Every structure is written in structure tokens, then in C-alpha cells.
Structure 1
């Protein structure tokens, strides 16, 4: 039977032994699909103290949340990430041999079930590794009670009240911090299984344990938060998604088997980013800057344990593949944390046509008119119905492929019959269905009419809606479940600070005239400007930075909010855009509020994760000072 024991405040809790110096922590997973070799290879490195990984995204949260919500109907449903077990299995003996610790969020919506599987797994491998787990992220019951009592839970991207969402919530998960992980390690756990902790929380918790930091050591905690932010996407910081990939990776024959990242965190919080020495990829100021700018909202980065200020961060090269991070400012955490709320959106499907050569616009219009005529009054049953063209035909194309574009008809509906008719035996061929309406006009269609022949996507599949808001930390039942049967309640932080919902946003001070640098070359912005973009729910962040100090004044003067809207052109939604600068990194950051059509779970766009917003903006033409352009392109 479990017994309750009191929470031990960090500095008065169990000691981490007589360790001194640097915590060496490796990021072994940035998602459920990441390369499986990381655990196996890094577990062999006895110098690494902690292995951590991120298995949860907003997409996986909705799927696992739905699985948990439907478990009463299907006892076979699992609500955790089994890929973690597959990755862990071949590394178990080395983890035990090298006395490493493991902290992951792969428990998703059922950390206890995953912990039980892992405990049996380590036993089967003849080790005595201890497995503990952390709960409290599931706040569905408290959320529903507050919702029914009139709490508005305004959306972080749009500020709209949840009543305007029009969906029926089925589950809610709060983002926990790293304190429960630190407590687990203090109580002897070797492997800590969590659900929805913040992506960087395992690094925060591991550093608290290793260096024996207290909950109000905000400077140190903020450094650990930044380290976790840089490490949690694995090879993103070692060359993945890097806009300098051509010269520094591809042409250098260094683009395969990118190394997984390693952080070396010192007792004062400062740290060095590096990577595996026997693998490819790079760690330099540019790759670290790109990951630092990824998926942030403004100069303040909030976490359940601490708030980190980003706009004073400095990066310094300390040798090949070694970058030191300094200048982080730590502030108290907010009294709230982020909450992700899942609802069943309905069913979605799509049909593709290939259009070639001339009159593309008119061919699309023909398909649209014929399809809508076939649908008749059933059009009203679609929440979303779009006709989108991907690609364009160049003048005098050199081959047929380059003269062909993709027309995607995308639909969402709450009517399963409308989206799935024809998917099962016994359904009459004349039953109204999305796929039938799209295809039945082929023989009266456009010149060269060619549908994609794999029509499985025309059959509806479930999709989910996702709402992001704030939730009070003092309403979270955060608990650590120790391998020996003890249960420890983890109290919320007592030293907190309320922050405005709107972060600082500004255009640059004292911009210089854009002819200051003399003659210009009309060329894509990305010829000399690096960048990274990404999603947070339906928000999209965009960070752009230059290579050299003397280019900084030009970049900050050029990239105003108004100029970004001009570059976005037809992609500008007209919604709010926030802007701030990180001068030491020569970086301008934008937050495009509510830009991504409800986010990854339900978006009608191909760019569901916002990662191509950066690449779109970088390809737009601007006047680049010739003196900068002549240095060579990225």
C-alpha cells in the first residue's frame, strides 16, 4: 500500500552525494519518431549523468487524451508512448552499468502504466534500476468543474473565451515543471516517467537534483530552462532544420547521422552546448541561435518553476562544437501554467488532382464549381471546405513535372457518414459522400484531368481540436510516486509573479535609413539571413538573424512589423504580430498571433507546424546591401 511522505524542499532534502563540477545531460529524443539509436549509443558514454527525451507534442497529446477518455469503452487502449520502451530496451544494461539517470515525458496520459511496463522490463534484463513516476498533469475534472462554473479560459493565441470555441472538451492536461523529477531523483529513482511536463522540465529537474538548487534559485533554474529548451529537440541544435545546411552540412559531407546534443551545466547555471564526438552535425553559434529562437513567444519564457528572460542572452564559441550560454536572467514563475484542452473535432478527408500547363486558375475554378454543384445542400455540413493549389508553372517549363501543380480539396465535418460512406461493405454506391462528389466529375472535368489514384485519404479520419489557456498551479495535484510505494505531494511554488498576458512588443529604436550601406542587390532575404519558425498551438513564431555584427543594424532597421506584413503578402492574416530583439545574437523575433488555422491538430494547411513560414519569408525579395551580399550567400 502506498504511504504518504512529506515533500522535502530542495536544499534540505536528500543529498545528491559528493558530486562536484558539471552535470552532463544528453537529449536522446525530440519526438515519438526520432532516431532510435540515441539511447543505445549515449548510454555507453559513462561521462553522461542523465539521459532525457521529449515524446509529447500537441498532436500526440490530443490522440493520447482521446485514448484515455475512451478507455471505459475499450480496455485495450494505451495512453502512453510505446516507442520509448523500444528505444530503452537495448540501452538498459549500459544505463545500469554506468549509473545513469533517465527522465522522460513518454508517460503521456498514463505514466503509471508505462512505469509498470518499464519496471518489469528492467527486471527482465537483470538490473535493479528503480522506476518512479510523476502525476498531476491530468486536470480534467478540475478544469470541467471550473468551466461549468463560468471560468472563461481565454485562448493564449487569440484571447477568445472558451465559450466561443464551440467544442465539447474531453480532457485537459497542465504543463508541470521539473520539481517532481528532482524529488524523484533525490529519492533514489534511476528512471522517472512523466506525463505532460514541459519539454524542458526534465533538464530543470535533473539540474536541481545534481546541483542541489532550491526552488528560489531563479538564476540557476532559468539557465537550466534555457538548456532544456535547446536540448529537447535533439538534433535541431546540431544542424537539423538549420538554414546554413548547404555549405556547412550538405556540401561538407556532414549531413547524415547528426549527433545528439549534450549540455554541460555548471553549478551557477551557465552551460555549454556540445554533441556526440563520434557523430556528424555541428554545434556553433548559428545552430544554437536558431534553436533558441524556436517556438518562443517573446523576451520572457515561462515555466512552472521559473521565468527566463531571453533578450540578454549571449553565446560564445569555446572550441569546435562547443558553445557557452551566458546572460540568462531568472525571475519567479507565474502562478499559472499552460493547459492543453482536447475536443473531438469530427472527421476530415482530402482528394488531390494534378493540373498541368496552361490555365491553372481556370482549371481550379472548374473543379470547384463542379464539386460544389455535386454537393448541393450538403455543403452546409462541412465545417471546413477548401480548394488549395500547391506549386506554380514556370514559363516554358523544361519537363512535365515542373509544369504540374497539386489541387487539394480538403474537408472537415461532424457527420461521419458524409465523410466515411463507401468505406465499409454494404454501403450503397449512390450514398452521398465527400469522396464521391470530388471524383464523379472527372469525365466532365478540366483538360488533362488526373486525380491521385490512392483515394484512401478521401475516407474520413478523426481529427481533434485543441485549446491552449492558463490554469492555476495551486489547483494541480502534483505527485511523485516512488518505486518503494511512497507518495509525495509536490506543492505549487509560493514565490510567484503575475505577468501581463501581452509581452513587450516593439519596432526597433532609431532605425537607420536603408540606403546607409550604399548600393543594393535585389535578392531573397534568406541569401544572407538565417532563421527558424515553429508553432505553439495556433501561434507561429519567426526568428531571423544575420551572421555578422555589422549586418545587425540593417536587419533590425529593415524588419519592422509593417515590413514583415509586406513580406507575408497574401499569407498575412491581419492578426496581431509581436516583435522583440536579441541584440547580442543579431536577431529579430516575431510572434504571429493565431496564424496557423487552429494549430497542428485540425489545420487545413500543409504547414501545420509553422516551420515553413520562415522559409517562405526568407525566399522573398528585398534590397540587400551589396557589401553584405558580396560576402557570399548562406
Structure 2
């Protein structure tokens, strides 16, 4: 291991199974990179791979319930990883880290290297969960506080979010590549820094900084300009190579100091604004929990050291909670959708007609559908210049536990006149609205399985956390010895000493996003959204304007009556809101297009508010 005096340099190569595949190969060529890290697991992949693993257990057949895309990305970089002595730590093992580790070990041998592959288990807590459930444990939902007994779905798989200590142990015992299942997104960064700098398990201040570093680079180019609300001027109009945004690098010193930068000779930027954008993504409040440590983030401030180098300061480290998050999967049934295109006048009346006719066609079969929604996307321009500008889309979305209702059952020989969702939707076309035009891709009307997902808490003391080394050893990882109980609900408050909005002089109606950056995301059915200002004067205005009541008003028809939590991060001039249970059960089963909550910030930024004229005169974002 290198001297602890030198910061460890960790490259973030993936924010999901769909990310660009070039990153591992490119970083493997850089001898200054010490660890390659990526996040491959989402709530969608957890449910899909969990169901896949369960099917294999039931049938006795081997499964590959892991993320194949990681192997595809890793393969061309293996020789250089071995040459430069780099380490790799990822959660791509999903629900079968052992099978993936064995496959990668063989791949490394086939490439002529002696890289050593270890894996981490313990995240599959289905057995322990079922035992607690039989004993009456409520497993309260994190978004809603409802007991799991109210769910109405039968759990089939449960995964706990593990920390980074197991990864540190694997590296200490000689692993070059560490394959994990459901460790938290940032845990490989914590584990890598613990190993490199020989940190103890109660070095909470240092570990909290590593946790924040992991959070910042876990989504790859999200922090180098991806999804950034300043993209027009700083990427598109500046001549930046936005078709190849660089992947990020976190430099973590022995004392925990973090600097975020990116790979050389690529597009994108690393600024205090792009770092703020990722900082505000998917957080839940001033405390950021991990199985190893809790980071207090409302004291964070950022320093632009030089171009594409931002230093993170003000992170506070606290002990971890005695529990960790658990994701519970259930089979939800089947879902399908059907689309109509509506043009020109009387859109609301046309929608009303389609809805009434479709439900009438269903008759008694309406009760077979657990979800049935009619949603319009878009609006007709006042003076449209093309057919597209005059057309909106009506999406009929259905979920059912009866596969024959969406032609997805085992009975492939059902007659053409069997009542199905598609038939109910299309049979009224000739008695329907003016210009009636259905979507022609009928594949969407054939049901596909979907899963329900429940998020709760689980005791760390009951997790069988184990490292399996490349040379056959089994190393148990004990739960944290020092923990702290935290309130279930994080602090929520309005700003202190708000100023009258008239203090800044004359105003003009303009979109909030004209001068305010924003970012939003999802955690189960919760949606978080953060906004930040360009300078101190605009920050005083922003924190005075954006109250909980104002956000509820701006949400308008999107506000579902749920609780809204609010807190501030003054060091980055940010106001953050957590919209609890906002996303219709989350990504796996949502009836909305916005399954990931990423559209919420842009929806709110386009809302017209009274903005001081002098702010607009500075220029818009």
C-alpha cells in the first residue's frame, strides 16, 4: 500500500447499468488512479435481480442475478489494472456477488493476470426479515410511516444496505477486485479510504468526509455537468465538449479532506455549482446516514481551488445508527399502457370522452385493475405552427394482478374476443373524439410484470456481514460497536429572520429558474428537491421566498397533500425540501412518467414568480 501521506485517488466510473462503457478502460490507463469505483444497483435492479435470485432458489438452477454490464465494462481494462496495481470496488454483484466474483476471477486468468477477486455478502436478509415479520414486526415505511401489514403485497426478497468496512477488510486481505451486492452507493469509497489510510472504525470525522465524497462521485458525470441547470451557458454555448463529459475523481487525504476533480482531456466542468448540484441529489435532510457513519451536511461549504478542482469543507462526522435501510421486494402484478393522440381544440372534453368510454367498456372488469389512470402530456400552442405543436398525448395506464386482463397470462390460446385492456382501449375509436388516433405500437398494451418495493429499517446487529477472500477465507465483519439513536424524522424548519420580499425593490414575473439552480431525485416514493442561489443577496431572497407553503403552492396540482420537510445549507446558499411519499410508490410501480423524481426541479423552476428586476438584470442562468 502507498504511503498514507498521499491522498487516495478514486475514480467514479458508473452511475448505473446504462452508463457509458468507456470509463474503466480509460481510467485503467492512468497510473495515478488508485481505486476504480462505480454504482450499478438501483431500486429497479434490486427488485429484478431479487426476483431472479428467488426463482433460481426455487428451481434449484444456477442464476446470474448480477449486473452483466459491469463485466462488459471491466474486461478491456483488466490488463492495465494489473499493470498499474489498481483496485476495483463495486456493488455490481447485485443479488449474486459470489457468482459474479467467480466469473470475473476466471476472466482475469483468461487475460493472463493474477488479479485476486473477493466478494462481500450479508445484504440478503430475507430469512431474518421473514422471521421478524412472523413475530409481528411492523417494518414501518420510511416515506409514510405505515406498517408493512398495510401493504397488501407479499414480500419475496429483502436486502439490507451494507457499509464499507467489509470492502476495507477485503482489500486488507489482498483483494484487487471486490464484488459486493447491496452496499450503499458510497460505501466502496468509504471502504477504500479506510484501507488506504488505515482508519479505525470510529474515525467518524474522516469517514464522514469519505461518505460525502462517495455521494458526490457515485453518479459519474452528474457532477461534471450532467443534469446541471447551468448547462446552456457553461456547456452548450461555451464550446465545451459536452458530448464527452469527464468522469469524476475524488482525492481523499489521510485527515479526510476531500477534493473533487475529473479526468483530463475530456469535456465537462467541476465547479462549486456542479458539486452543489450533486450534493443536493437524493439527500433526505441535514443528516446523511450510512451503516458505518453519519455525516452532518448542513455545514458544508465549497472552495474552488483551481479550474476543475473543488475542495469540500465543513462535513461533521457522527456515529452510525444501529439500523440500516432495507429494501423489500414483492411481486406487484402486470402493467400495460395505451396511447391516444389528441389535436387542437377541446382537449379536456376529448379526454373526458375517452375515459368514460373506456371505463364503460370495462364494465365489471374495471375491478380487475388495481391502478387505472388517464394522463395528458403536453399542451396545445396558442397559435401552433405545426401539427406537433397542436398535439398532446393521452396515456392510459393500468396495473392488474390478473395477467389475462393484459394478455400476459400462461393461457396463450385465449380467444380474440377475450376481454383485455387493449380491447377496452381501442374498441371505442370509431365512436370517439374528433381526430381519434391511437398509438400503433400495441406491444405497450401487452402486460409486463412489475414489482412493489417497500423501504424500512433493519438492525445492523442481525446482519451476517462476511468477506469471502480470493484464497478461500471467510472473514466475519462485526456491526459497529458505537452507534447513536436518531429521531425517525429529520429536522425541518423555516428560515431564520426572513426578509420582506419587497426589500429588493421592483419585481417582474419570470420563471424561478431564470436565476435559481435546482436539482431533484428519488428515494423510494420520497422526492427531494434543492435550490441554490448565485450570490449572497439572491440567497437572502431565495430563503425568504421558498417556504414550505410556497413550495406547496408552486407544486399546484402536483401536490398530493403529503408532508414537506425543509432545511438549509447556507454554505452553498441552498434550500432543500423533502416531499414525502410524492412519487406514487416509487420507480418500480409508479403510474407517472416521472418515476425518478428528476422532473420535479425543472417543473418548479419553470413556475412564474415575482423576481426582483435587479436580479434579472445580472443575466439569466
Classify the TM-score, shorter chain. Answer: over 0.9
In the superposition, the TM-score normalised over structure 2's length comes to 0.99
Distance of 1:453 and 1:489 partners within structure 2? 56
2:92 maps to what in 1? 106
Instruction: Give the secondary-structure state (helix, strand or coil) at the position aligned to 2:489.
Output: coil
Residue 55, structure 1, aligned to residue 40, structure 2? yes
2:74 maps to what in 1? 88
Distance of 1:282 and 1:602 partners within structure 2? 35
Distance of 2:173 and 2:404 partners within structure 1? 53
In the alignment, structure 1 segments of 5+ residues that lack a partner are: 1-15
2:21 maps to what in 1? 36
1:573-606 Cα deviation digits (max 9, x unpaired): 1110000000010000000000000000000000
Instruction: Give the secondary-structure state (helix, strand or coil) at the position aligned to 1:346.
Output: strand
Residue 543, structure 1, aligned to residue 506, structure 2? no
Distance of 2:346 and 2:616 partners within structure 1? 37
1:130-166 Cα deviation digits (max 9, x unpaired): 0000000000000000001000000000000000111
Cα contact 1:219–1:331 (8 A) shared by 2? yes
1:503 maps to what in 2? 490
1:370 aligns with one of 357, 373, 385: 357
Distance of 2:137 and 2:498 partners within structure 1? 44
Q: State the shift of 1:420 in Å.
A: 1.4
Instruction: Give the secondary-structure state (helix, strand or coil) at the position aligned to 2:501.
Output: coil
Residue 286, structure 1, aligned to residue 276, structure 2? no
Distance of 1:18 and 1:401 partners within structure 2? 62
Q: State the shift of 1:250 in Å.
A: 1.1
Q: State the shift of 1:497 in Å.
A: 0.1
2:222 maps to what in 1? 236
Q: State the shift of 1:74 in Å.
A: 7.2
2:604 maps to what in 1? 617
In the alignment, structure 2 segments of 5+ residues that lack a partner are: none
Distance of 1:427 and 1:537 partners within structure 2? 37
Residue 484, structure 1, aligned to residue 467, structure 2? no
Distance of 1:462 and 1:619 partners within structure 2? 35
Q: How many residues align?
A: 619
1:564 maps to what in 2? 551
Q: State the shift of 1:77 in Å.
A: 3.6
Cα contact 1:231–1:237 (8 A) shared by 2? yes
Distance of 1:548 and 1:19 partners within structure 2? 38
Q: Moved runs in structure 1, 4+ residues, more than 4 A? A: 421-425
1:9 maps to what in 2? none
2:513 maps to what in 1? 526
Instruction: Give the secondary-structure state (helix, strand or coil) at the position aligned to 2:449.
Output: strand
Q: State the shift of 1:237 in Å.
A: 0.3
1:413 maps to what in 2? 400
Instruction: Give the secondary-structure state (helix, strand or coil) at the position aligned to 2:106.
Output: helix
Distance of 1:505 and 1:18 partners within structure 2? 43
1:4 maps to what in 2? none
Q: What pairs up with 1:198-597 in 2 under 5 angstroms?
A: 198-254=184-240, 255-420=242-407, 426-597=413-584
Distance of 1:420 and 1:473 partners within structure 2? 43
Cα contact 1:136–1:476 (8 A) shared by 2? yes
Distance of 1:422 and 1:60 partners within structure 2? 23
Instruction: Give the secondary-structure state (helix, strand or coil) at the position aligned to 2:128.
Output: helix
Distance of 1:421 and 1:578 partners within structure 2? 41
Q: State the shift of 1:75 in Å.
A: 2.4
Q: State the shift of 1:521 in Å.
A: 1.5
Instruction: Give the secondary-structure state (helix, strand or coil) at the position aligned to 2:531.
Output: strand
Q: What pairs up with 1:99-248 in 2 under 5 angstroms?
A: 99-248=85-234
1:11 maps to what in 2? none
Q: State the shift of 1:309 in Å.
A: 0.3
Distance of 2:217 and 2:16 partners within structure 1? 12
Q: Which one is further off, 161-170 or 17-26? A: 17-26
Distance of 2:526 and 2:431 partners within structure 1? 41
In the superposition, the TM-score normalised over structure 1's length comes to 0.97
Distance of 1:187 and 1:564 partners within structure 2? 51
Distance of 1:428 and 1:421 partners within structure 2? 13
Cα contact 2:333–2:402 (8 A) shared by 1? yes
Cα contact 2:78–2:108 (8 A) shared by 1? yes
Q: State the shift of 1:18 in Å.
A: 3.6
Cα separation, partners in 2 of 1:143 and 1:328, compared to 1, 3 Å: same
Please report the RMSD computed on the Cα atoms of aligned residues, expressed in angstroms: 1.0
1:293-341 Cα deviation digits (max 9, x unpaired): 0000000000000000010001000100000001000000000000000
Q: State the shift of 1:426 in Å.
A: 3.0
Distance of 1:440 and 1:622 partners within structure 2? 45
